[in-house]
Amino acid sequence: MDIKYETGKDFAADAASNQREESPLVQRIRGNYGYIAGMCLAYGILFAFCQYKNPNGITWPVLVCATIGIAYLLLKKVGVKVKKGTTVYVVGMALLGVSTTLTCSGFLVFFNMVGFLLLFLTGMMHQFYEDDKWNFPTFLMNMTVICFMTIGHVFRPFSHGFAYLAKAKGENSGEKRKTAAAVGLGILIAAGLLLVIFPTLLRSDMVFAKIFEGLLFEFEFGPASVILFMILTGFVASYAFFSALCSGQFEEKEEERKNYNPLIAITFTTILAAVYALYAGIQVFYLFLKLGSLPDGVTYSAYARQGFFELLFVGILNFILVLTCMSLFQENKLLRGILTVICGCTFIMIASAVYRMALYVETYHLTLLRILVLWFLAILALIMGGVTVSIYRKCFPLFRYVALVVGCGYILLSLAKPDRLIAEYNLRHWETVSLWDVQYILYGLSDDAVPVIAKMGEKKIAEDKSSEEEESGIECEVGWNKNVEQEIRNYFYYIEDRYKNISVRELNLAKVQARNAAVKWMEKEDD
């Protein structure tokens, strides 16, 4: 894969010489610096407004819409037309933005942000490059390269700005360009140092601090410095990413297949396929049909509950194995058949892992980790289906298929609010829940579960300990039910106090529902 881009030494003093070596798109960025830098600065300000101490407020969809809108305007400014297929990325980002305002789960909020960034990255790469011709490894490699190129372009907004200012002042003199660059760089360094030094001086001398106490912001490691840093981050990141996209030139043709002898792959995959076939047969015979006899002292429940994480690991390994064989070795009918057998055995392993986890949940109820395992097994099964198709169809867009499956699967998981599902499932099985389960519902779940937890007061707590309580060392003492009632009472008072003053910027549906449920529960408790 051939990549052509700038080395990064592009300050105003030598801007003219470097400009001749730049791609046409980068030259358009230089020519429209005022507009593009202004849009990136506006994005930085909006980023700080939306995200400062507000990871899941109603401003998230606003930030998503602003990101999409500003990206469209920048593309239009440099002459890049919106391609067919970009709508899919836009819809995915919008759904993740909406999902963030519907949940209080830190897990979902974090991965919503990760998913948003990945969708934006792949969507913008789709705009600039002919990614239809990329295979799976090429796509991953190019995504990695763009990320590193963005890091290498973090000084571009300033170097381009120095050159722009020098040109605006009538740059017949090279000395003026050097002076402007030096002064601008000095101001930038001073601003960065003052963000650290100034708050320290304020705290060290009360007379010095009193002089500046009338300023709009309090200069400490609080509002002013953090907000300025977020604005700068949004500005630099957006400009550097756009500059990297315009600078990189990837080979648009798919890499040629390596010509390694397929006999190598046939040999080791045949051995693996034989082992997998034996293992799959045991799963069908012993686990699913229960026709065989287990070792002494081992019940079917205990047999089924062990090994699902190991099976998950082997399933992922098989996915990588099949992709590697397809990429490195010459096409061969026998090899395709063996890889198909491995895929078939992987489906049986996935079914076995799902069955084992289902039995485990039936005994020990739901947790977030168990939901994630079941979700990932379903996603892995769909991915292996695409891998199986790609064995026989070389033109199958495997990367896009995997991205679509993972993206849609995660969006559905995010919108489903798993913490609320966990609480609902465990409350439906209240007669068998343990003290550990109650503590997990109260302290292990996000506030998405508060409306469901409000129903807990109407239930009776099972007094018998489960085997899981014995392992965790939780004691079931007399009067624990009253202690739980007090725990629940304290829990709802905390929720009501936490969300009683939600600002418009921090508005979130899950927060409102949690507050309303807490208020309603306390009113009923008082009656």
The residue type at 180: A
pLDDT in tens, 120-147: 999 999 998 888 777 777 888 888 889 9
Domain spans of the chain? 24-247, 262-416, 419-526
- In the DSSP assignment, the letter for residue 22 is S
Q: Long-range CB contacts (< 8 A, 24+ apart) of 258-261?
A: 258/327, 258/328, 258/329, 259/330, 260/328, 260/329, 260/330, 261/329, 261/330
**Taking the CB of residue 58, how many other CB atoms lie within 10 A of it?**
20
For position 426, what pLDDT does the model report? 86
Q: Where are the alpha helices (DSSP H) in 205-290?
A: 206-211, 223-247, 262-282
Length of the chain: 527
CA separation for the pair 505, 50 (Å, rounded): 8
> What gap in Å lies between CA 66 and CA 60, rounded to an integer?
10
Q: Using CA atoms, how far apart are residues 128 and 81, in angstroms rounded to an integer?
A: 9
Residue 253 backbone dihedrals phi, psi, to 5 degrees: -95, 150
Residue numbers in the chain where pLDDT is lower than 70: 1-22, 168-196, 198-200, 202-223, 248-259, 290-309, 456-484, 526-527
pTM: 0.77
Half-sphere CA count of 496, side-chain side, radius 13 A: 15
463 DSSP β-pair partners: none
> What pLDDT does 220 receive?
43
Residue 215's Cβ-count burial label (10 Å; 0-12, 13-18, 19+) is exposed
